[in-house]
Each structure stands twice: as C-alpha cells, then as structure tokens.
Structure 1
C-alpha cells in the first residue's frame, strides 16, 4: 500500500453533485440492460405458445440466478481499478482490470461446462417435464455459449466504472439491447428457430458487447505496456476479492428466495401480490443502485489518492443523496399505491394486498437509499470481507423473523404487510445497522492504491 500524495491524481474541478450525476445517470441506463435482454426474450417468445413460454421461463430463471450471482465481477473490479486511478497509476489500474477479465473468462467456461453437464437435470428438479422441459433445455443449452461473453461484459463494465467512465457502458448496453431484439425476432420468427433462436440471439449479442469492450481495453493495455497474458498473482488477488463479493451477493439472494418461499406458503394471493410488489421494489432499486455505483467509483478514487478528508465528505454527501432519493421514490410509491395496484391485476383482493404492501415499501425507501449508498461506499473502499460477514449476520437476524411470520397463520392483507415488514424493515434495517456502524468508523478507510 502506498500513501504517497505526489502520485495521486488531481482533484476533479467539477462540483461534487455534477461528479455524482455524471457517473450515476449513465450507470442507471446500463443497469437495466441485462434484465432488458431477458425481458425482450420473454416478450418475443410469448407469441410462440404457452409451453414454449413456460419452458423459456425456466431457462431464463436459471440465467437470471447465475448472472445475478456473477455481478460481483463488476462490483469487485470497479474499486480495484479506481484505487489505482486515484493514485495516478493507470498501468496498474489496467493490469487489475485485465486480471478481472481473465477471472470472468475462466468462470464463464466453468459455468458453461457445468451447465452442459447438469443443466437438464437441474431443469427437471425445478419442475420441468415433457415439452416444457425440452423448451427449457433448448433455451439454457444455447445460452451456455454466451456465459463467457456475459461475464466479460460484467468485468469490463467494472473496469470502465473504475476509470470513472459510465457513459461507454451505457452506449454499449444500448446498442447491444437493440441488436438483441433484431436478432431474436429474425431467429425466432424469421428463421423459425423458436426458443433456441432467442437464446442464440442473446448469446451473439452478449459476445458482440464483450468484443467491443475488448476492442476498447486491449489497445489501452498495449499503450501502457501491460501484458495481455494471464497473471497468476493478479488472478489470485481478483479471485480473493471476488469470493467475498460472491458470498455477500449470495446472502442477498438467499434472503430474496426465502421471502418468496414464505410468500408461496402464505397462499396464491400473497404470492401474486408479493411478485408485483417485489417488481416495483426492484425497479426503483435501479435508481438507488446507480448512486451506489457512483459511490464505488468515487470513493475508490479518493482513497487511492490518499484523500481521506475528501472520502469522508463524499460519504456524507452520498448518504444524504441516498436518503433524499429514498424519500422521493417512497413518496412516488405512496402516491401511486392506491391507484396503481389495479394495473397489475383485476382481482380486488390481490389489488388491495398490493396497495397495503406498497405503503410499507414506501415507508422503508429512505432506509433502502441509505443502505444502497453505504453498500457502494464500502465496496468502493474494497471492504469486501466485512460486507460478506455482515451479509451472514443480516441473514441470521432476518430468517428467524421470516420463520415467525410464516408460523402466524396470516392471510389477506395482514399476510403481505407482515411479509414486507420483515423484508423491507427488518432485513433492510439490519443491513442499515451493519453498514452504518462500519461507515461511522475509519477501519474501512485504507489509503493508497491497494487495500
């Protein structure tokens, strides 16, 4: 670790709000790209038939789960690169990015092989039978070649974010999304490849995006005389950080899945209402996550430049932004809740349950904003081990509460309200406490280009 001020970058002359927005706004657009790819597949496949759509839904669920877990490739690469950028060491920043890209490529190959060997059995275990299983396997099988491309895109996006560039990922994601729609329409309906065509189109689009990123990054690596070959020590360091980030992401996924399981146990109405409410929560989370990405990039840069005071000031400002945006999104939800629920279902009972739960979500949005930003701050600081351990602690708090809710024999609006009190207040609140305690101290503020 180096604390040399002489090698740090100069301060950005722009006002801090402009720095934040310059990173957060493009990041928001890029964030919706991966869900948009899968949504486009769903819409295009919906015209083929019920069995085709049901099979594709199973395959898409597997893809969403795996890509959701692998997003750590972006979140672990960003702070590593940002620290070196802050320290004024572009070559080392690019070398760190190269290591992240190699890790992505290796993991992509491993996941593709595992999918080839066990994907069919997994789909059967998920309930796929007959034609539905066949279509699900078609989708998953032809998605496997795209795994390396997807993970390379994640890692490359993290590299550019660390270099304080979120605009390029937005452009690449936008063009990739458009190409994906054209390819899928042609392959599914024009060529007649059906479900397999959608997966092939998406795989081609993902590889196209990956190649664009490599075309951007490889010349930079060469210009700074950074070798392209696999570097053992760098790969080990990337894997070490990535492992903790994967554990942190896995704890979030367990909480989400456990909540769905309890919603299922509470009845069909509760499950339907929960799905709608969680979709609303997840959509608004993109706004808060964009702030978190800005926090990652900016905090990593300031700590890399050994500007402790600026890092602390940035944390305060971004925390206020998180709370403020949480208030805004909460107000929007609260105003729309009485009227918007009817757009999702004609069932009056389910609509009333959605409305009740949305009020809970609205009240908890400031806490969510606080959590998302501090999560980004600590990621940007490279405090990944603490984030992983805190994730386990948060689960240990939440799961007993979730079990208690499941045992109460609730129904109707009471069921969904208590479920969302558990998730939005207890679980998100536990995250707020563990993150807030850490951010209030200084152990995470390690200065210099490497943590």
Structure 2
C-alpha cells in the first residue's frame, strides 16, 4: 500500500516564521481525512464489543455478566494508558512538521518500548490480582461466585493481549503524527475482523472450531488484538528505513520526555474517570429508573464523544506539524477551522437530539419509569453538546502543541471545583439526576473557559516547541 502521508520524504527547513509552505496541507479536506481515519479506529473496538456481547449472550446470563465486568476491567486499564497514542501523536507530529520524518518515527519506536514494558508489568500484576479485583466488583455469594470465576478466566486469557493493545496505541500515535491515515484503519479492521470470526466460531464451536464457550471469546480477543499489535510493530520497524538496528534500541532521553508527558495525560484521564464513576455511583442511590436513565444518556454522550474526539485527533496532528515547522499562522488557522467544524457538528447533533427527544430514548427502553427519568438528563446533554464541540477541539489543539501540563491542571481543577461539589451536594440534598448533570455541565463549562483563555492567550504556540 502506498503511503498516503503528504510528505513522505525527509525535508529540511530553516524556516522559523509563520511560513505555510513549510507545513503539510492543513486545510479542511485534510482535517476531514484525518478525522475519518481516527473515527474508524475509535469506533471499531466498541462495535466489536457489541458483537462479542451478542455472541456470548447466547450462552446465558452468568456468562454475559462475566464478560461485561471483565471487559470493563480491561477497558479501565487500557484507558489510563492512552498517552501512548495522544502523547506520541503530538511529539511525532512536531518532528514531522520540522521535516525530520526519522525523528517522528523514533517517537513511535520509543513509545513502543514503553508499551511493551508497561504491558508486561500489567500482565504480571493483573493475572495474579484478577480474581480479587473481580470479587470486589461483583461481590460474593452462591449466585455471584460463578460470575467471578468466569470473569477471572476470561480476563486472565485476554490480559496477555495488553502489550499488543498498547503497541497499537503507540502505532496509532506516531502514524497519526506523520499523517499516515490508511494503515491504522486497515490494521485495526484486520485484527478485529479476524477476532470477530474467531469469536463466533470459538464460543459456539462453529466452522469446525472447538467450542470453548466464554474462554473462546477471550481467545478471539487475544488473537485479534495480537494481530493488530504485530502489524503496528512490523510497520514501525520497517519505517525506520535502515539496515542497522541502532534506531530500534531504547533511547532514554526520548522515553523520559514521553513519560513526563504521560504523567500529565494520566492524571487528566483519571480526572475524567473520577467524574463519571462518581456520577454513576450517585445515580445508583436515587433508584433503578434513575441509574438506567443516567446510563442511557451517558452512552449517547460517549457515542458523540467519539466523533468530537476524532476531530480533536486531527487537530493534534496538524497543529503539531505546523508548530514543528514554526508556522504559527498555520497552527492558528487549524485551531480556528477545527473549532468551527467541531462546533457545527455538535450543534447539528444537539438539534437532532432535541428534535428526537420523544423518540430516540424509546430505542433503548420501553420502561415508563426510565423514560420519565430520561427527560431530566436529556436536556442537560443537549445543552452540553455545543460546549463539548469547542472543548474537544481546543483540547486537541493544546495536546498538539504539547501543552499537556496545562490540560492536566485545567481538567483536574474543573473536576474539583465544578463537578465533584455539585454531585455530592446533589446526593446530600436529593437533587437527583438534575444535580448530577448540573455537575457535568459545570465541569464542561469550566473546561471551556480554561482552554479558551489559554488558546486566545497564544502561549500554546510556543510551550511545546523545542
């Protein structure tokens, strides 16, 4: 397959001004290409999980519950390590924009070493701790012990794919940085496609494959993730374009810089996790209908987040490339264009959800109590979407500039000042879902204010440039 990045040859540039000629295409078309590529990679795993749930669901309720809790643990572990993707994109894009493709790929090599090392530690710890963690989540008792046992078995198999999952994240990161948009999609679809076929065959013993039940789902997951991870690993080795192995060795100066950025991104990610876990915990205390309504609207929020995040990823790659070339005018133009496109998409979605307020919830439930409860968070969700459109875009701009430390502080402060006080007050004063979603809106508005002030101030154009 031909490389589709717009500047596959190394380029040297002495430009230290806002010279757009030193930068790859940063127009709306390029934003769209990068966004669609990122979106395809983002939506593939949730779609695979839906298939997995449907296949395992035929085995019975215990197996389905075991799969749900085990995949939750695996997802939480992976979510905290997205710095391998987002951090690598920003650093690789800056090198790419500066005309040093080899250095951009080196970021991917070193991120891959981190992926393998961290993945090995996770496997060693989690394989031992899996039963204990799952028992804490599920509880104990005659009716729950089979779920814990099944979930532990699934997780202990699937965990061996974690290093390959992390390799895929690192691969996505540097390839987005050099604006190679096709290969990541192909690699992810090939891996998950094989996994999907194996899942159906191994769980139920179809196509001449052994019937492994729930363990078959774990094996399919492991094989699919491994194929994708190996494809990314092979690509980064081939992309070094040198017969010597020197460029594949760990380079501690790069690894140290990546880990410094990783610290900020992990803290930022944990801030999100604390907010949404707290929201679910408080919603559960208001009743079954309330927690169900909260979960339905939250799933729609996460669905929309995929679209907005895809645009943010495009902003990372293009802003990083522009700033690497010292083309601040181009970086500012990308920030403007991505924000406008993201806001337009979010407003369109908000209008759609507003118009479908009476119909869309019925796709997910016919329970009258849940439908009544959904009416409260629904309009908070609709109101939040335009705000989120701007926030996600500007997050991508700041990540592309390497301003992860600011994003860490802004997100943590917004959670501590805006979200957490409101959500716990809603529990104390029985404000219900209105209190919870008021906290989420406050969280988003505070993030909007902080990132908008940062971008308008202009410091982001220089903070991450070496």
Does 119-128 or 77-86 show the bigger shift? 119-128
Judge which range, 435-444 or 218-227, deviates more. 218-227
Q: How does 1:369-408 map to 2 (within 5 A)?
A: 369-397=389-417, 398-408=419-429
Alignment partners' CA distance in 1, 2:81 and 2:435: 31
Query: 1:246-276 deviations in whole A, cap 9, x for unaligned?
Result: 1111111111111111111111111000110
* C-alpha deviation, 1:231, in angstroms: 1.6
How far apart are the structure 1 equivalents of 2:200 and 2:146? 22
The answer on whether the counterparts of 1:73 and 1:155 sit within 8 Å (CA) in structure 2 is yes
1:421 Cα deviation from its structure 2 partner: 2.5
- TM-score with structure 1 length normalisation? 0.94
Q: What SS does the aligned partner of 1:222 have?
A: coil
Instruction: Tell me whether 1:46 sits opposite 2:57 in the alignment.
Output: yes
Match of 1:213, SS state, is helix
By how many angstroms is 1:215 displaced?
A: 2.1
Q: Is the counterpart of residue 419 in structure 1 residue 436 in structure 2? A: yes
* 2:321 match: 301
Shift of 1:161: 0.3
1:122 and 1:14, CA in 2 relative to 1: closer, same or farther beyond 3 A? closer
RMSD: 2.0
Q: CA deviation at 1:6?
A: 7.4
- Does the 8 A contact of 1:72 with 1:249 survive in 2? no
Equivalent residue runs for 1:106-255 within 5 Å:
106-128=117-139, 129-190=144-205, 191-223=210-242, 227-255=247-275
How much has 1:222 moved relative to structure 2? 3.2
Separation (CA, whole Å) in 2 of partners of 1:6 and 1:386: 25
TM-score by length of 2: 0.91
Uncovered stretches (5+) of structure 2, i.e. residues with no partner:
1-11
Q: Return the alpha-carbon distance in structure 1 between the equivalents of residues 160 and 204 of structure 2.
A: 21
Match of 1:259 among 264, 273, 279: 279
Alpha-carbon distance in 2 for matches of 1:352, 1:15:
46
**Bigger shift: 258-267 or 439-448?**
439-448
For the 8 Å contact 1:188–1:195, the answer to whether it is kept is yes
TM superposition shift of 1:426: 0.6
Where structure 1 has 5 or more consecutive residues not aligned to the other structure, the ranges are: none
Contact kept, 8 Å, 1:371 with 1:428, in 2: the verdict is yes
Question: Which residue does 2:116 correspond to in 1?
Answer: 105
Q: Which range moves more in the overlay, 250-259 or 39-48?
A: 39-48
Distance 2:195 2:321 in 1: 34
Measure the CA separation in 2 of the matches of 1:344 and 1:170: 29
Cα 1:15–1:233 shift into 2, 3 Å: closer
1:429 to 445, 453, 457: 445
Kept in 2: contact 1:9–1:87 (CA 8 A):
no
Distance change >3 Å, CA 309–CA 224, structure 1 → 2: farther
After superposing the two structures, state which structure 1 stretch, 89-98 or 75-84, moved more.
Answer: 89-98
Q: Partner residue of 2:430? A: 409
